[in-house]
Amino acid sequence: KMSLSALNYPPLVALSGVGLGISLPILEKLTQESPWTAVRLACAISYGINFISVSRPGRMDGQASDGDYENGDSNSELAQLSPRRGKTLVAPSGWAFAIWGPIFLGELISVTSAFFLKDNNSSKDIISTLRKTSGPFIAAQLFQSLWCAAFRPKYKGLAMFINTGLLSATAYSLSKAHAVFAAQPNLYTNLQYGLFLLPMSLHFGWTVAASIVSLNGAISMQDNSSPKLIAYVGHASVIAASALGVYITVMRSAPVFGSVIAWALTAVADGMKQRIAAAANENGENKPLQRRRKNNSSDNNNGEGMLGLYGASTQRALALGGAVINAATTVFIAGSMAFGTTISGWKSVPSF
């Protein structure tokens, strides 16, 4: 009797992701041409698949969070993803992942509320918008379901980049949906935005951040990744995330996206703060922060070669700076929208 875990074969999961990506244009066309009842049902089913997939135990993030890092259990492979003792410099503090609660609850409300929308003249604008966003929304739910399969300990070496690709595909799909409703805010009210579109905005911003976290995690867990390479990629990632947050916030008049990026960067800075503090405490007790790679010539007495500590201070400063810039941009754009003006020309805040 074949189990689900037996079907979780890296090449099969990767090919499924490629196939889903190729079929996205077809999915978008179907959701715009199919009966409204079928579209609503497809969104609800895809959400259910994703919810069940996320709920299944065994993912690396769940196992890593169960590690006893406080007591020095840093020898596990999964410990390399930990904010305190990990190798990657893009390791958000655990509190950041609380954002999944509003995302899943919000999308549950969205797919449920859609069944109360009648396909008539009074709802034609919001239904037209939802038809255009439903294809990317369904794809994003399915991509994230595949990511849940790929983000497991059996995916080692280069196979770790499969989960990065699937998470990035999730963010790309949500970006397509976000672009649709960001471009036409006059087609829906504030209430409709809160019910149907705000959860997608949160999901989009967080999966962009999570894709960057995933990329850095995959790079840091490669056998030939040096502390310098991990640090350089981490620094570049934070700078890129900061720039992307400002760009999309401004060009799409999307303060929610900017606020999520600011949230994620703040969590990265806090993760590095914890790591630096852990290093100081352990050095005071004459304990090493991390395992040192054997025969690594960069290891030295001042600790700069320690895995996970190299570049941590710079990373914290970059992440804090990016968070402040994105938060300021978010406030500015939100204020501009409240007064009915934008920089991008993608229009102003929707009305009741």
pLDDT digits (tens, 9 = 90+) for 65-97: 444 444 444 445 666 677 777 899 999 999 999
C-alpha count within 13 angstroms, C-beta hemisphere, residue 270: 12
Are the C-beta atoms of 276 and 196 separated by less than 8 Å?
A: no
Q: Is 306 left (phi over 0), alpha (psi -120 to 50) or beta?
A: beta
Q: pLDDT value at position 341?
A: 67
Give the residue among 210, 143, 203, 142 at the shortest CA–CA distance from 177: 203
Q: What are the tokens at 273? A: 């703060």
Q: pLDDT value at position 351?
A: 38
Give the residue among 226, 232, 210, 262 at the shortest CA–CA distance from 61: 210
The answer to whether the predicted template modeling score (pTM) of the entire model surpasses 0.85 is yes
Cα of first residue to Cα of last residue in the chain, in angstroms, is 55
Report which DSSP code applies to 81: G
Question: If you search the block for the tokens 């439903």, which residue do you land on?
Answer: 134
Q: pLDDT value at position 7?
A: 72
Are the C-beta atoms of 306 and 293 separated by less than 8 Å?
A: no
User: Position 42: which residue type?
Assistant: A
Give CA separation, 114 vs 26, 122, 126, 194, 351, in Å.
22, 14, 10, 13, 20
CA 192 to CA 186: how far, in whole Å?
11
Are the C-beta atoms of 168 and 331 separated by less than 8 Å?
A: no
CA 321 to CA 199: how far, in whole Å?
26
Sign for the CA dihedral angle at 276, 280, 281, 282 comes to: positive
CA 88 to CA 93: how far, in whole Å?
12
**Helix, strand, coil percentages for the chain (3-state, nearest 5):** 75, 0, 25
Question: If you search the block for the tokens 């992942």, which residue do you land on?
Answer: 97
- Return the CA Rg of the chain: 21
Give the residue among 171, 151, 142 at the shortest CA–CA distance from 8: 151
List the chain residues with pLDDT less than 70. 1-6, 62-80, 283-307, 341-352
Are the C-beta atoms of 167 and 210 separated by less than 8 Å?
A: yes
Question: If you search the block for the tokens 């989960």, which residue do you land on?
Answer: 163
Q: pLDDT value at position 288?
A: 44
